Structure 1
């Protein structure tokens, strides 16, 4: 059904409903993206008007599945293996040796790493590949690698471990041939690496969901905060802070910043990149 003469006022109500659930603001240039996708979704549905759709989202008990569909429709999932290499170098050359040295009295030395907006899994699997290549997968160490996203479709894809050329555009050929098997429909990640990571559906805006991810030594939350307004950024950042152990590290995107967002973290320059660290005396 084609919707004609839909005003922004009704669409703003849809945006507000989603904002209350996710903290995603869809402002500026994202507003056009939001309107286009929402209108297309409603037109392809059984609803006669945007007002009917709003009523359904507000009052129908079945609306939870519809909201999940909207999360899938409206979240951006552009990522690839070995993205932002300088940060990965800081992880393997500085941060991991430091954390493992602190845990030298433990057997095995357990390290927990969370990719908090993991999309199709390429970020957490990149870390798994690096651990393997650096010889850190051994009886002395135990790594827990966890990925999460609000988007159920990309989590399903992450669990499958099937990728295309664009996903592997920054992956060196020796690594590609060693850990991926070429198939008709893409490149299948080998089972040894795939088994190293687990994935869950988590909404970073909701503390009851992020609260299940405590005790993390390292969190990656790259290129995510740009989709939140200031208040939502503060809330999400506090959730990430609470999930880290004292002394734990937070990686944001290379252009992300916590300026005016949070003063809870220490800003630490490492190998040409800036990393955020929870103070050693910070509450877990």
Structure 2
């Protein structure tokens, strides 16, 4: 098969499972690069590819489609800022954080802003950010962003850390100096050679592009670079994979966070709360208040006076947080069953169908996941997260045009209907 050698090369260099993006996307990328290089056919382009590392990177640029924005999945940043290591932090022993892949820089810069808002002095933390794409890294180092990098209604961080100029929103030097960018990839032989382990690693929405053996290899590499008791953050569809490794899930809904080390055996297993229970989040640390305000997370630290009145006005909610916790812990069957029970008892809702779709996604039940995302969109046509996840599934099925339309709708939704 003419494409087989290109597929093998991409898997060897970046771990890419071609099924994750679909062969039509690879075919389009090859034709685009062949035309740009002025060669007659794919055989001639293959020979050029073997002799040119820059062209290999150009091909990789053509097949990867980064989708990122500041404080994407805010819960992960809140959890990261709250759960700092037990050891004292100082300029000589700073908190060490890795963001991989870092894309165009929104994630590592969000980490920096979250820690600054939590009151951590700049000398007390350092962030390494790695990506395979030189083009993405150039954008990250310039640190000037357009409006698509800012989504949702909680954008107070933009006023604190960015200045608007003719090119866009320029990030402050205070944040930029906390991040060191490097060009590499997860499977590079010399990746982070000689570097001390990291207290926190963000590796979100990368493993979904690998086949199962490569996924397990990737998790092993990550845990080898994670300090004892260190935290690993992954994407929603990747949490089930973590349970097959010596990692302990944190009880933090929608953060998809895991601590280094196998779960401890519990002598008494707590029973699940009843289906009619109402989830009330735990009070956050006081140092996190600026971040929580900018992220739109309610504090329940005080339940008297005005705070009690506010809580009293909140409508009862079905315990979707319980479903989230089960999913975070890798108990996908239980999570799906409970979510379906909630839909039967409390009626259909976009939030429930979206969450059920994420669970099916994590269990690699893609048709069921797509069905749930579509049901969520039927109930709430501008549900941006459902559109984003459905777009990713369409991409794997080779429907690049459909995926692109959904991504555009999702961007318009977050810009026009901030939440």
Matches within 5 A, 1:233-252: 233-252=215-234
Query: Does the Cα contact within 8 Å between 1:211 and 1:243 map onto a contact in 2?
Result: no
Give the match's secondary structure for 2:236: coil
User: 1:240 Cα deviation (Å)?
Assistant: 0.7
Note the residue ranges of structure 1 that are not aligned, 5 or more in a row: 1-8
User: 1:172 Cα deviation (Å)?
Assistant: 3.1
Query: Does the Cα contact within 8 Å between 1:83 and 1:170 map onto a contact in 2?
Result: no
Q: 1:170 to 1:147 in 2, by over 3 A?
A: farther
Q: 1:72 to 1:105 in 2, by over 3 A?
A: closer
Distance in 2 (alpha carbons) for counterparts of 1:20 and 1:107: 39
> Is structure 2 residue 174 aligned with structure 1 residue 182?
no
- Pick aligned residue for 1:231 from 180, 205, 213: 213
Query: Does the Cα contact within 8 Å between 1:90 and 1:271 map onto a contact in 2?
Result: no
2:39 corresponds in structure 1 to: 47
Aligned residues: 263
> Is structure 2 residue 59 aligned with structure 1 residue 67?
no
Distance in 2 (alpha carbons) for counterparts of 1:205 and 1:248: 21
Distance in 2 (alpha carbons) for counterparts of 1:180 and 1:146: 21
1:89 corresponds in structure 2 to: 78
Distance in 2 (alpha carbons) for counterparts of 1:107 and 1:125: 19
Distance in 2 (alpha carbons) for counterparts of 1:261 and 1:205: 22
If asked which structure has higher relative contact order (CA below 8 Å, sep 6+), I would say 1
Matches within 5 A, 1:195-214: 195-211=177-193, 213-214=195-196
Higher CA-based Rg: 2
Distance in 2 (alpha carbons) for counterparts of 1:12 and 1:176: 45
Q: 1:204 to 1:172 in 2, by over 3 A?
A: same
- Pick aligned residue for 2:131 from 117, 133, 149: 149
Superposition RMSD in Å: 2.3
Q: Calculate the TM-score normalised by the size of structure 2.
A: 0.59
1:192 corresponds in structure 2 to: 174
Query: Does the Cα contact within 8 Å between 2:93 and 2:124 map onto a contact in 1?
Result: yes
User: 1:212 Cα deviation (Å)?
Assistant: 5.2
1:24 corresponds in structure 2 to: 16
Q: 1:134 to 1:105 in 2, by over 3 A?
A: closer
Query: Does the Cα contact within 8 Å between 1:265 and 1:277 map onto a contact in 2?
Result: yes
User: 1:232 Cα deviation (Å)?
Assistant: 1.4
Give the match's secondary structure for 1:166: helix
Query: Does the Cα contact within 8 Å between 2:101 and 2:131 map onto a contact in 1?
Result: yes
Q: Calculate the TM-score normalised by the size of structure 1.
A: 0.85
- Pick aligned residue for 2:2 from 7, 10, 13: 10
Structure with a larger share of its residues in strand: 1
Query: Does the Cα contact within 8 Å between 1:252 and 1:275 map onto a contact in 2?
Result: yes
Structure with a larger share of its residues in helix: 2
User: 1:259 Cα deviation (Å)?
Assistant: 2.7
